[in-house]
Amino acid sequence: MRKYAEYLALQEEANPRKKAQLEKRYDQGWVIGDKAFKNKLAKDFKDMEIAEDWGGEELRQLNEYRWEQIVIAGLKQLGKTEKDIFKDRKLAPWKARLAVQLRKITSAGNPWIASRLNMGHPSNISWCLSQTRKS
């Protein structure tokens, strides 16, 4: 509630310079709250249909948050860690499987997946998809 009260004070700030500083301080993503609150809210949104008029930065952040949760769960399921993402080769089979899963169940694009899984160029994701279709 304190953070929300501070946010409301920001909306009332008349000094443009001070308002810009406050906006930078409080504009920290798709929702105001700590990580636990964001986790709960993201779970609530998981099964909801996103309205067509949603868009922009907030929707991008919410989607990336969802994709990130899938990556974390995938790493855990595979017995891998964040270090393995950088230690293992770019087209390691486990990375390819996770990349294909992300493409199948999310709207994550090749650039995001390639960057997040340290798979090099985004075209590597397309290659993984084509290999899956062949087998």
Lowest mean pLDDT among 51-55, 75-79, 116-120: 51-55
Would you state the pLDDT for residue 28? 57
Mean pLDDT of the region 29-33: 64
Q: How far apart are CA 110 and CA 119, in angstroms?
A: 10
How many CA atoms within 13 Å lie on the side-chain side of 84?
14
Lowest mean pLDDT among 28-32, 72-76, 91-95, 107-111: 28-32
Cα pseudo-dihedral 42, 48, 49, 51, rounded to 10: -70
